Amino acid sequence: MTTVLGRRSLNRATLERQLLLERSPLPVPDAVEHLVGVQAQTPHTWYVGLWSRLADFDADAVGALLERRELVRLALMRSTLHLVTPSDLAALRPWIQPVLDRDLYRNQLHGKPIADVDVPAVVAAARAALADGALTNKQLGDILAPHWPDTPPGTLVYAVRNQLPLVQVPPRGVWGRSGAIAHTSAEAWLGDAPTPPVDPARIIRRYLAAFGPASIRDMQTWSGLTKLREVVDPMRPELLTFHDEQGVELFDLPDASRPDEATPASPRFLYDFDNALLSFADRSRIVTEAHTRSFQRRGVIPQAVLVDGFTAGDWVVERGDDGTATLTIRPLEEPFADADVAELIEEGSSLLRFLAPDAPARRVEIGAPAHPA
């Protein structure tokens, strides 16, 4: 008989593998590889995701890794920008390429104008242009447009972004700094390195180590790929199988930890595009109905607060005219329990010291429910 894993059991397993149950001592590149990349759609909010997961986290050191080309940001899973190591760029990008192909040719804005274009020729021209240095989208579009005058420059650039691995170069994404969005090719940025053979089974094992136990639909949601049952079914002899409370089949690694559902989970602050929230077809192992309703009402992704492992509130940092930094933590629909408030303020105070070290004063406040029940 197949074991049923309840919501809390899945929650604790996921938190541990996401390094959210206890902060990890892993070096940043090792942690990024364990997590199979960190979604880095925004220039800086993803630093909070690493701060919440790693002990003694140093954002400046992470920025230095970007500048030293030991970490890179480019389009990967779900055709979204991810922070990865160069070795994972080489391992993951060819596997994910069908997602990017589909996105290009079915894209509402770019699919039709790119349909009859010689895309390999566009990519070859872009590769040559980028060999001389990073370019903004406008700069690259201006170079390509004279050769394909009947195609919008933005569409040409989008085709290059989907067909050629483009690294978003520093200072964009470096902690405490900013800069124009500029890209160059991975080969120009990292050198012409051999591409390892695509190994889907290995990637699925890595996903389970960071997100499991998980269903095939979860794997497809995380990656953006389809037909992953064709990969997973031959792996059954090496995997354990469970069911969730709805009867959905879940897969896991035999030696993976699945903590007791009663394991304590301290408050954690997640960022807006945290993969712990976005990488499951069924997000209920972490995401509450109140969180989902909040998103639907506001139309923006809230920066979530986890209490007892589940989304229970959101948070925002604001600066006053005098430089004072205030972190406001708002419950979603019901006030926080008294027993949780002290831990929330303690964790929030640490986060505020990280985000606003230069503030002359810092405050953590518990706000009113965002959407009172």
pLDDT at position 373 is 64
Q: For the segment 145-198, what is each residue's pLDDT rounded down to a tens digit?
A: 999 999 999 999 999 999 999 999 999 999 999 899 999 999 999 998 778 889
Distance (Å, whole) CA 96 – CA 335 = 42
188, 189, 192, 193: CA torsion to nearest 10: -160
Mean pLDDT score, 313-334:
94
Mean pLDDT score, 359-372:
90
Distance (Å, whole) CA 21 – CA 259 = 10
Alpha-carbon torsion (307, 309, 314, 319), positive or negative: positive
Judge whether residue 28 has pLDDT over 90. yes
Judge whether residue 80 has pLDDT over 90. yes
Distance (Å, whole) CA 29 – CA 208 = 19
Question: Which amino acid type is present at position 238?
Answer: E
The DSSP symbol for 77 reads: G
H-assigned helices in the chain: 7-17, 28-34, 46-51, 59-67, 86-106, 111-114, 119-130, 137-144, 153-163, 186-190, 200-211, 216-223, 229-232, 275-278, 289-298, 338-355
Q: What value does the mean pLDDT of the chain take?
A: 95
Q: For the segment 40-62, what is each residue's pLDDT rounded down to a tens digit?
A: 999 999 999 999 999 999 999 99
65, 66, 71, 75: CA torsion to nearest 10: 170
CA 204 to chain centre: 17
pLDDT at position 300 is 65
Take residue 232 and report the two structure tokens written for it. 């997973």
Judge whether residue 296 has pLDDT over 80. no
Distance (Å, whole) CA 100 – CA 92 = 12
Alpha-carbon torsion (185, 189, 190, 193), positive or negative: positive
129, 134, 138, 141: CA torsion to nearest 10: 20
Judge whether residue 298 has pLDDT over 70. no
Mean pLDDT score, 341-365:
97
Take residue 158 and report the two structure tokens written for it. 């989008």
Judge whether residue 31 has pLDDT over 90. yes
φ/ψ of 2, rounded to 5, equals -75, 135
pLDDT at position 349 is 98
Mean pLDDT score, 116-122:
96
pLDDT at position 292 is 79
Q: How confident is the model at residue 12 (pLDDT cuts 50, 70, 90)?
A: very high
Strands, sheet with 135-136, edge to edge from the N-terminal-most edge strand? 135-136, 182-185, 166-168
Q: For the segment 231-241, what is each residue's pLDDT rounded down to a tens digit?
A: 999 999 999 99
Percent pLDDT > 90 in the chain is 91
pLDDT at position 295 is 62
Among 252, 233, 230, 232, which residue's Cα sits nearest to residue 242?
252
Judge whether residue 1 has pLDDT over 90. no
pLDDT at position 220 is 98
DSSP for 10-74 reads HHHHHHHHTT-SS-B---HHHHHHHTT-EE--SSSTHHHHHHTTBTT--HHHHHHHHHTTSSEEE
Identify the H or E element spanning 253: none
pLDDT at position 42 is 94
Take residue 211 and report the two structure tokens written for it. 């997100």
Mean pLDDT score, 130-154:
96
The DSSP symbol for 290 reads: H
Helix (H, G, I), strand (E, B) or coil at 231: helix
Mean pLDDT score, 261-290:
96
- Residue 90's DSSP bridge partners are none
Helix (H, G, I), strand (E, B) or coil at 252: strand
pLDDT at position 291 is 81
Does residue 290 or residue 268 have the better pLDDT?
268
Q: How confident is the model at residue 364 (pLDDT cuts 50, 70, 90)?
A: very high
Mean pLDDT score, 82-97:
97
pLDDT at position 370 is 74
Judge whether residue 347 has pLDDT over 90. yes
Cβ proximity of 212 and 276 under 8 Å: no
